Structure 1
Amino acid sequence: MLTAKPSEVLHPPSRTFKTLSIPNPNPSFDAIPFLRFRRRRCAPLATAASDSLAAVANAAQSRVDILSESLPFIQRFRGKTIVVKYGGAAMKSPALQSSVINDLVLLACVGLRPVLVHGGGPEINSWLLRLGVQPQFHNGLRVTDALTMEVVEMVLVGKVNKSLVSLINLAGGTAIGLCGKDGRLLTARPSPDSASLGFVGEVSRVNPAILRPIIADNHIPVIASVAADDEGQGYNVNADTAAGEIAAAVGAEKLILLTDVAGILEDCNDPGSLVKEIHISGVRRMVEEGKVAGGMIPKVNCCVRSLAQGVRTASIIDGRVAHSLLLEILTDEGAGTMITG
């Protein structure tokens, strides 16, 4: 029979794998060097976890505070129609597009009644260039010959409108796609400058009866700015102009134009000269003084027309700023220039 030597009993061979053997089921924590080492190593991790939890709690509190502060604005606009013209940089950037869509659905969820009117300038330009046609503009409006008109209808009605409807539905809203031709929603007439602009139209009539039941059922109309005259000839209608006329026809509380600039500038060469709020008379004076030019002219004109027809306020805001729509409606600071009547 093999027997162990006394030295082997007192000093058993070391094991080939690391195991912590604790004979006492309730040892003192500090009595075990290995556990003391682990405790020192875990201390920074515990601190980091605590800091992380505090940061999460602070972020949650900030969201709750913001939501609470928005209550007066939600109460003010609840049940009111808000017409939003969507285009420009906010349409080109996928991140900003997602921001606009989510904000629109959020406003609908808290009781506002948004109407979305859209253009699609960048997409139209892209398709024209593919066809070897250089986009042309005159006084801020797209020169539209027969070929360009075909592209405008294909892009706005066939692509952009359907895409926006799908995105709103995916975000939890209920959108219905339309264009100005549907149900004679918009009737157009040739622009007074048609010799230079071609098939660019002005809005001669709006049929709000098409929109009222859609809005009343808490659906979001998504309207492409294409219209036809009484003979059925199609026209490219500036989306800002269409939004302004629709806002007036449905008795909107507010018109919002998402643009590629901060708003109306007192000095067009100084981004810091943003006019936060201005009366309609002040805007007219700026136009007369030549302080409003280029693509800003149709935007300002449509705001002035909508205010003259009963819209409470019109805002030109920076669509390049994330959540600019919520900033404009749910805060005192706003996100651009608000024009009052």
Structure 2
Amino acid sequence: MDGIVVIKCGGSMIDSLSKDFYEGIREMQNNGYKPIIVHGGGPAINQLLEDLSIESEFVNGLRKTTDDVMNVVEMVLSGTMTNKLVRQLQKHGITSIGITGSDGGLMYAKAKDIEKLGLVGEITHVNQDLLFNLISIGLVPVISPIAMSSDSEDYYNINADTAAAAVAVAVKAEKLLFVTDVPGVLKDSKIIEQATTIEIMSLIDDGTISGGMIPKVMAAIHSLEGGMNEVMIVSGQTHLLDGSKINGTTIQREMEAVK
């Protein structure tokens, strides 16, 4: 199916997504794009764990997920965060549906390292037909990154960047957008419209890309390694489109950039 765009929204961005951002998604649909949203929920998960006095730790950047932590992860991701996004999309005239990765066998996973990480999973299969069916009737799927084991016995917490990349590859998305609080990768206050992975690494080395932008561009690069041809860093606070062109920084694999 042509024109699919997967949009990854981090949990820290959901409350600050602007009216322009949502109107941009509606305009994308008007231009023939078919959006799919995958979201995280890190800050809200942290807050609820703290409120409930449940201990949590990170191992190599991933949240170690015990049974108690998993209950909170599900409550926040599949409850609060999905519902927030669906309500805002509906409010802006975008017909959407909240779906967890375990609904309808959307995402299957296996444990990444049960001893070190607990119920953190890596995706083994994405049911692209389910997504094709939803977008074919005009719905925007809003996916929380929870997956189940192939025997449906266990449920896993999936890193949202990883989930978005797996979904994008499975549906052969035209683009994968990582939503941030800036309009793209900036150099001397100007947007870098296009860059290769090597150029991005060079910009990290020279300090042009720093702070919170580093994990965002690294997530983008990892998704390229996972099979995407190009990804974009875009803003959640401005309009996504300029005419039919998506605003932001496009990052490409080297071989794609050479073509």
Q: Confirm or deny a common fold (TM above 0.5).
A: yes
Distance 1:254 1:146 in 2: 35
Determine if the alignment matches structure 1 residue 221 to structure 2 residue 138: no
Question: 1:186: which partner in 2?
Answer: 107
Which of 227, 231, 244 in structure 2 is aligned with 1:314? 231
Question: 2:120: which partner in 1?
Answer: 200
Q: 1:86 to 1:327 in 2, by over 3 A?
A: farther
Q: Is the 8 A contact 1:188 1:202 kept in 2?
A: yes
Distance 1:88 1:161 in 2: 10
Which of 326, 330, 333 in structure 1 is aligned with 2:245? 330
Structure whose alpha-carbon radius of gyration is higher: 1
Distance 1:186 1:328 in 2: 34
Question: 2:7: which partner in 1?
Answer: 84
Q: 1:254 to 1:273 in 2, by over 3 A?
A: same
User: Which runs of structure 2 are paired with 1:29-108 in the superposition (5 Å)?
Assistant: 80-93=3-16, 96-108=17-29
Distance 1:265 1:241 in 2: 24
Name the stretch that deviates more: 111-120 or 278-287.
278-287
- Give 1:166's aligned amino acid: R
Q: CA deviation at 1:125?
A: 1.6
Question: 2:150: which partner in 1?
Answer: 230
Q: Is the 8 A contact 2:147 2:157 kept in 1?
A: yes
Q: Is the 8 A contact 2:178 2:220 kept in 1?
A: no
Distance 1:88 1:214 in 2: 24
Q: Is the 8 A contact 1:90 1:100 kept in 2?
A: no
In structure 2, runs of 5+ residues without a counterpart are 254-259
Q: Is the 8 A contact 1:140 1:295 kept in 2?
A: no
Determine if the alignment matches structure 1 residue 278 to structure 2 residue 198: no
Determine if the alignment matches structure 1 residue 138 to structure 2 residue 59: yes
- Give 1:322's aligned amino acid: T
Q: CA deviation at 1:141?
A: 2.2
TM-score (norm 2): 0.81
Question: 1:52: which partner in 2?
Answer: none
Determine if the alignment matches structure 1 residue 340 to structure 2 residue 252: yes
Q: CA deviation at 1:187?
A: 0.7
Q: Is the 8 A contact 1:139 1:295 kept in 2?
A: no
Q: CA deviation at 1:167?
A: 2.2
Q: Does the residue aligned with 1:338 lie in a helix, a strand or coil?
A: strand
Which of 189, 211, 229 in structure 1 is aligned with 2:131? 211
Q: Is the 8 A contact 1:140 1:298 kept in 2?
A: no
Distance 1:297 1:195 in 2: 29
RMSD: 3.3
Q: 1:123 to 1:316 in 2, by over 3 A?
A: same
Question: 1:149: which partner in 2?
Answer: 70
Q: CA deviation at 1:195?
A: 3.2
TM-score (norm 1): 0.63
- Give 1:218's aligned amino acid: G
How many equivalent residue pairs? 249
Q: 1:199 to 1:265 in 2, by over 3 A?
A: farther
Distance 1:296 1:165 in 2: 24
In structure 1, runs of 5+ residues without a counterpart are 1-77
Instruction: Write the deviation string for residues 61-99 of structure 1: whole angstroms up to 9, x where unpaired.
Output: xxxxxxxxxxxxxxxxx9511100112443132xx2544
Distance 2:216 2:2 in 1: 30
Q: CA deviation at 1:273?
A: 9.5
Q: Is the 8 A contact 1:83 1:247 kept in 2?
A: yes
Q: Which has the higher strand share?
A: 2
Identical-pair percentage = 33
Distance 2:65 2:105 in 1: 21
- Give 2:5's aligned amino acid: I
Question: 1:35: which partner in 2?
Answer: none
Distance 2:202 2:110 in 1: 28
Determine if the alignment matches structure 1 residue 163 to structure 2 residue 84: yes
Instruction: Write the deviation string for residues 303-322 of structure 1: whole angstroms up to 9, x where unpaired.
Output: 2234xx3x442012343x43
Highest relative contact order (Cα 8 Å, sep 6+), 1 or 2?
2
- Give 1:246's aligned amino acid: V
